[in-house]
């Protein structure tokens, strides 16, 4: 058996398919000798997710998502119409599904596969504590689903540890650190060991309240004059006018350049000395690291833990303005140390966390399973 490929036909289900997953899915499809078909539906409008329209290597079949409430609600449910029909038409030798108990039809798909003695792999963030309404039932529901998988792939080491604490067998847990970009093909950008004038701080993302640019503006304003950075904000969104108004009041050094995509981003990464994501979410971390930038990010769901380490950046508590200010002060006080941390960022995405490595973990998980 070639360890770099899966000889069978693979099916992969997601509730929705964000555009940033296209590179990974096409790369995974190339490693499946029997081909790969992806089944996913459309997001809710309020989610602000840009879905994949087509894939180059994988077959893409669109589900009909019937969604009750929204994903932030404890009562959220999603029924994916056409799931079993897709399985019957594609006849996958193995199936990868989201490890989310809020999708009732997934259980029917698992039963369909197991009746035909074909394995199913769950793919999920982990198993964080469940609180709120119906928490006891929801914990039971989650554990029941997780135990039905033949293996599970976690987005991060933290997620894998959570699955292990629930009693899932260690040999059935795999870690595919969340990656959206291939390993960089160009050598790391070389920067001088001192700042060329005012240091440049870069944010890239959608401008919405949860990104906490308000907190970032206040934190920059608290820095001493010699450390106050040129803050470059790349992106657009519903909170842009609000953030621009606040910047005019408290931090006029901030520059809003609007939305930029793909190669349009390169000059901004090259200009920056430090990359920052003070709020939740954000897909540009790996791109910044590929440009040899150290990073400051807020703690999230664990997917950033593997990317952001003491040698290449800072993780701060969400909504903690003092911690953000302290991290900025420490980072901008030592440009030589920042350069070393940027080099570490580049090594991490070049050698450890990239699409190629992620595909390798999926193939290893698939090849570890025989028909159940």
Domain that holds residue 277: 200-351
Q: Please check whether residue 195 lies inside any domain of the structure.
A: no
| Helix, strand, coil percent content, the chain, rounded in steps of 5 | 40, 20, 40
Residue 217: its H or E element: helix 213-222
User: Which among 14, 27, 15 has a CA at the least distance from the CA of 362?
Assistant: 27
Is 204 in contact with 265 (CB distance < 8 Å)? Answer: yes
Query: 109 and 212, same structural domain?
Result: no
pLDDT for residue 13: 98
pLDDT for residue 131: 83
Query: 171 and 26, same structural domain?
Result: yes
User: Which among 221, 231, 167, 154 has a CA at the least distance from the CA of 199?
Assistant: 231
Query: 83 and 45, same structural domain?
Result: yes
Q: Please check whether residue 190 lies inside any domain of the structure.
A: no
CA distances from 214 to 103, 164, 209, 217, 279 (A): 36, 38, 8, 5, 10
pLDDT for residue 46: 85
Query: 324 and 229, same structural domain?
Result: yes
Query: 84 and 113, same structural domain?
Result: yes
Q: Going by C-beta distance under 8 Å and a sequence separation of 6 or more, which residues neighbour residue 118?
A: 92, 93, 94, 95, 371, 372
pLDDT for residue 324: 97
User: Which among 202, 159, 206, 164 has a CA at the least distance from the CA of 303?
Assistant: 159
pLDDT for residue 372: 45
pLDDT for residue 55: 97
Q: Going by C-beta distance under 8 Å and a sequence separation of 6 or more, which residues neighbour residue 55?
A: 22, 25, 26, 29, 38
Provide the domain count of the chain: 2
Residues of the chain short of pLDDT 50, as ranges, are 372
């Amino acid at each position: 058996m070639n360890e770099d490929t899966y000889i069978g036909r693979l099916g992969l289900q997601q509730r929705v398919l964000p555009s940033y997953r296209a590179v990974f899915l096409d790369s995974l499809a190339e490693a499946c000798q029997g081909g790969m078909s992806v089944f996913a539906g459309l997001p809710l409008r309020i989610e602000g997710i840009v879905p994949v329209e087509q894939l180059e290597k994988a077959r893409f079949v669109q589900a009909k998502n019937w969604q009750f409430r929204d994903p932030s609600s404890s009562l959220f449910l999603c029924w994916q119409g056409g799931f079993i029909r897709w399985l019957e038409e594609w006849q996958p030798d193995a199936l990868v599904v989201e490890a989310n108990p809020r999708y009732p039809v997934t259980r029917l798909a698992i039963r369909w596969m197991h009746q035909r003695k074909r394995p199913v792999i769950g793919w999920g963030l982990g198993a964080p504590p469940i609180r709120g309404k119906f928490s006891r039932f929801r914990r039971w529901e989650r554990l029941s689903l997780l135990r039905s998988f033949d293996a599970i792939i976690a987005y991060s080491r933290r997620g894998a540890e959570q699955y292990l604490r629930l009693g899932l067998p260690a040999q059935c847990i795999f870690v595919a650190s969340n990656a959206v970009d291939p390993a960089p093909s160009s050598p790391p950008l070389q920067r001088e060991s001192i700042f060329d004038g005012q240091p440049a701080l870069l944010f890239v993302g959608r401008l919405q309240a949860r990104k906490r640019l308000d907190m970032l503006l206040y934190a920059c304003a608290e820095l001493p004059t010699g450390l106050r950075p040129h803050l470059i904000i790349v992106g657009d969104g519903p909170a842009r006018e609000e953030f621009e108004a606040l910047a005019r009041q408290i931090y006029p050094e901030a520059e809003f350049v609007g939305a930029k995509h793909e190669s349009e981003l390169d000059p901004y990464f090259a200009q920056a000395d430090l990359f920052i994501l003070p709020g939740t979410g954000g897909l540009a971390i790996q791109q910044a690291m590929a440009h040899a930038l150290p990073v400051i990010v807020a703690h999230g769901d664990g997917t950033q833990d593997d990317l952001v380490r003491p040698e290449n950046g800072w993780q701060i508590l969400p909504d903690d303005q003092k911690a953000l200010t302290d991290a900025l002060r420490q980072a901008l006080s030592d440009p030589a140390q920042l350069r070393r941390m940027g080099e570490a960022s580049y090594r991490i995405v070049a050698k450890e966390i990239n699409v190629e490595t992620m595909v390798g973990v999926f193939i290893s998980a698939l090849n570890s399973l025989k028909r159940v």
